[in-house]
């Protein structure tokens, strides 16, 4: 999926998001189990619903460039993912789409900017920060890892592997946090010793996406 010029093309990005959808749908039950400890237990179902719809409408999505593809993706995710997941995940995709507007391929520096934009978009929507025990505890470390790799001119696939590792490590750290946002915040100290479902989901998704392109 990564080109010889060390970039991600529109076709490659579509392949990555298609793989993301497959991973989410395959882990629907697991993600619900993660959420059952301190949430409603429907997180996996809520997110999978949006990505199942995305696959149904796949042929109608724009393939003109990465920005337009992610824009169309964000609209479906926002509308069809259930509960709070739709607005939050949709905000991330929409912000990344704006960052990639008109681009038919992106390098590592541009990918880092897209993930940073996604973080900012989600923060604007949910008013959360690092340490609140949300998916941002996985996504922010990913953005940091990609930016650090971009500054060192690391190969794109290596940087993405480091980003996936950072997401997984960030998700594991949420076990030691008390939830401050979302449904899990209602149970307070009872959320300790359990990972945030959204953060762990991103850790799983990014890890499996990287394994698929090796």
Q: How far apart are CA 145 and CA 121, in angstroms?
A: 19
**What per-residue confidence (pLDDT) applies to 111?**
98
Q: How far apart are CA 143 and CA 163, in angstroms?
A: 7
Residue 81 has pLDDT above 70, yes or no: yes
Give tens-digit pLDDT for 7-39. Answer: 999 999 999 999 999 999 999 999 999 988 777
Q: How far apart are CA 128 and CA 151, in angstroms?
A: 27
Of the two residues 28 and 186, the one the predictor is more confident about is 28
Give tens-digit pLDDT for 135-154. Answer: 999 999 999 999 999 999 99
Give tens-digit pLDDT for 167-176. Answer: 999 999 999 8
Report CA 45 to chain centroid distance, whole Å. Answer: 16
Give tens-digit pLDDT for 59-74. Answer: 999 999 999 999 999 9
For residues 186-196, average pLDDT? 70
């Amino acid at each position: 999926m990564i080109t010889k010029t060390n970039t991600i093309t529109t076709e490659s990005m579509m392949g990555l998001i298609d793989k993301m959808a497959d991973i989410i749908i395959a882990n629907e039950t697991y993600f619900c189990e993660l959420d059952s400890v301190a949430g409603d237990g429907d997180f996996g179902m809520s997110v999978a619903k949006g990505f199942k719809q995305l696959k149904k409408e796949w042929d109608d999505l724009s393939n003109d460039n990465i920005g337009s593809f992610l824009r169309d993706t964000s609209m479906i995710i926002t509308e069809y993912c259930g509960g709070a997941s739709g607005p939050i995940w949709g905000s991330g995709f929409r912000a990344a789409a704006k960052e990639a507007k008109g681009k038919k391929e992106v390098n590592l520096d541009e990918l880092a900017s897209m993930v940073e934009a996604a973080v900012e978009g989600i923060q604007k929507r949910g008013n959360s920060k690092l340490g609140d025990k949300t998916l941002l505890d996985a996504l922010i470390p990913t953005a940091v890892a990609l930016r650090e790799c971009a500054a060192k001119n690391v190969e794109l696939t290596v940087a993405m592997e480091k980003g996936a590792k950072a997401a997984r490590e960030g998700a594991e750290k949420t076990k030691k946090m008390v939830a401050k946002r979302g449904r899990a915040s209602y149970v307070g100290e009872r959320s300790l010793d359990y990972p945030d479902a959204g953060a762990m989901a991103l850790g799983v998704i990014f890890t499996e996406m990287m394994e698929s392109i090796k």
